[in-house]
Each structure stands twice: as structure tokens, then as C-alpha cells.
Amino acid sequence: MDLGAIVTRIGADMAAMQDRGRVADYIPQLGGVDPDQFGMAVVTKDGETYLTGDALIPFSIQSVSKVFTLAIALGRLGEALWKRVGVEPSGHAFNSILQLETEAGIPRNPFINAGALVVTDSILAGHAPRETLGEILRFVRMSAGDDDIHIKQSVARTGEETGHLNRALAHFMTSHGRLQNPVDLTCGTYFHQCAIEMNCLQLARAGRFLMGPSKDAPSLVSAQKIRRINALMMTCGHYDGSGEFAFRVGLPGKSGVGGGILAIVPNTAVVAVWSPGLNTRGNSQLGTLAMERLAHATGWSVYG
Ligand code: GLU
């Protein structure tokens, strides 16, 4: 299999696409991003790297950050985390408050916003947001083997200014006794973790710990935790579009409204893809299509 040729062809095909989806504009700093961009990076278990398109242009990872905070929280709390957040797909939008009301303020899973706020709250536990953000950045930089990964303050600020729904989710959970820190601290930390910027190469490298042991990558979590995180990425990583991603791509993946997707091919490779235009469910339109083509061309799937 000529992986380099496959990746290059996908990059060329995506560059020619007309229908690129719609860039998220509810966070104003994201609305101005040029929708014509597309990048992809594949890093294999043996450390081979394949790039195409805008793979070296940094973008806002947004909800892809939830994978890293989940890994940190699982390391810290272990199985006790599952008392605070569930492991079921929600079938609802990323920021929905609907199920929280009928389910006593316990979020369905760690990847919808409510669940991610609980995860961030759990690692904040008594620390200043600055310390926790330092810990998140340390984790991401170590997993990527790259210190040049930062938070874009202007994106964090606009996330903060427009984050009423996230604060509403946090207040609702606090009223049920589900958060341990003041809403402003948990939400402030969350807005900043979402504002981490990476390019496709950095993100793929940062995700290596989820494919299992691989050349040059630090082993950051146990095999059991890797399985759990991958299972949640598969069932919940694309919100109410998770079934469709599993059906079309067949790999665990986590999307963000910045247009990034991190996908894992267990024991084989990790893929980061980015294109800012989103489909109706808030997942990268070309990113999903590119992942589908990559999975088809390589035969990569967790389903056989
Ligand atoms: N910062 C975004 C929000 O909380 C993240 C959502 C996403 O990437 O899906 O609204």
C-alpha cells in the first residue's frame, strides 16, 4: 500500500471540492477562518509521517481538546470519574441541555459540552485555572513531542464572551451538586482548553498515545484507558453525528467546531484532518469525507 500516494490524492481531491460546509461563526474568532483550507497528517506506528494540503497551518482544536482532558482526568480519578459522567451517546447536539434536566444533572458522556465541563471541573479540583491549563498544555506538548503548542488568547476570550450556553450548563449542573468549582473557574478553564491551537501534524502526533505503543511516542495512559477513550470517541466523538461517522469511517474520532478531527487506527496509525467548513451536525464536512476516503483506500476499520 502506498500510503503517501493515497494521502496526496485525497489532498488533491479535497482541494477541488466545491461544497465545503459552513464555518462555525457562533464563536466570532472562528467565523473569519478561510473555508478553502484543508489539511491532513497521518502518523504511523513506525513513526512514518504523511502530510497533504494545509497540514502545517494552525487551527483552533476546540472540542478535540476534550480527548486530552479526559485522558488526564482518567489518570487522576480512574474509574471514579464514571460516577460523575456517563458513557452513553447522547443523540443530541454538542451543547444540548435537554437530557441534563431529566437525568439529574449527570451528563451522558465526556464529549458533549456538559460532560466535558465535568471532566475539566474534575481536573481543576482546587487548583487555579492557570495551573490546570499548564497541566493540559504540558500533557499535549509531551504527547506531541513539541513545545510550540499554545492557547490563542483572543479565541479563548471570544469563547468566554459568547459562552452563555456553556455557563448555563455549568450552572444547571451546579444546582444539582455536580460541579466542585465555581462556574466561572470551570468554564474559564474550558474556554481556554478549547482555544489551544495546533496544526494537523502536531495534533496527529499528540494523539499517538491513543493508538497503543508506537515508535518515539511516550506511553501516557494504560492500555485499558486507551480502549475506553477510543470506545467513547467512536460512540460519542461526533455528537449526534457519531453513528454516521462510525458508519462511513469506522474509526474512533473526535471532532471540534474549528473543523479538526482526530481519528485513531488502533495499533496502526493516527490521523488528524482539518477543514473549517462544517456539516449540519457541526462536524468538518471535508474532514469527514477525507477520513471516509482514507479508510476506504487503506482498508482501515475497527469493524473488520
Ligand atoms: N468551544 C466550543 C463550545 O464549547 C467547543 C464545541 C465543539 O468544538 O464542538 O461551544
Sheet architecture: strand order including 150-151 = 59-60, 196-198, 150-151
pTM greater than the 0.75 cutoff = yes
For the chain, the residue count is 304
For 25-55, what is each residue's pLDDT tens digit? 888 888 889 999 999 999 999 999 999 999 9
Residue type at 246?
A
pLDDT, one tens digit for every residue, the chain (304 residues):
899 999 999 999 999 999 999 999 888 888 889 999 999 999 999 999 999 999 999 999 999 999 999 999 999 999 999 999 999 999 998 989 999 999 999 999 999 999 999 999 999 998 999 999 999 999 999 999 999 999 999 999 999 999 999 999 999 999 999 999 999 999 999 999 999 999 999 999 999 999 998 988 888 999 999 999 999 999 999 999 999 999 999 999 999 999 999 999 999 999 999 999 999 999 999 999 999 999 999 999 999 8
Give the distance, in angstroms, between the CA of residue 17 and the centroid of all CA atoms in the same chain. Answer: 24
For residue 277, list its beta bridge partners: 23
Grid cell in block for residue 43: 502518523
What mean pLDDT is reported for the chain? 96
State how far the Cα of 242 lies from the Cα of 233, in Å rounded to an integer.
8
For 143-167, what is each residue's pLDDT tens digit? 999 999 999 999 999 999 999 999 9
Residue pointed to by grid coordinates 493508538: 211
Grid cell in block for residue 107: 451528563
Active-site residue among 239, 265, 270, 271?
A: 239
Q: CA separation (Å) from 123 to 30, 133, 218? A: 27, 10, 21
The pLDDT of residue 215? 87
Q: Are residues 195 and 60 in contact, defined by beta-carbon separation less than 8 angstroms?
A: yes
Among 194, 240, 242, 280, which is best to mutate for testing ligand 1, by the most ligand atoms less than 8 A from CB? Answer: 194
Q: Are residues 208 and 226 in contact, defined by beta-carbon separation less than 8 angstroms?
A: no
For residue 196, list its beta bridge partners: 151
Q: Which residues line ligand 1 (CB under 6 A)?
A: 62-63, 94-95, 113, 159, 166, 194, 256-257, 282
Among 60, 62, 193, 262, which is best to mutate for testing ligand 1, by the most ligand atoms less than 8 A from CB? Answer: 62
Name the phi and psi angles at 90, rounded to 5. -95, -30
Q: Are residues 197 and 150 in contact, defined by beta-carbon separation less than 8 angstroms?
A: yes
Fill in the DSSP letter of residue 195.
Answer: T
Q: Report the sign of the C-alpha dihedral through residues 60, 146, 210, 136, in that order.
A: negative
The pLDDT of residue 297? 98
Spacing, Cα 30 to ligand 1 middle (Å): 11
Q: Are residues 173 and 105 in contact, defined by beta-carbon separation less than 8 angstroms?
A: yes
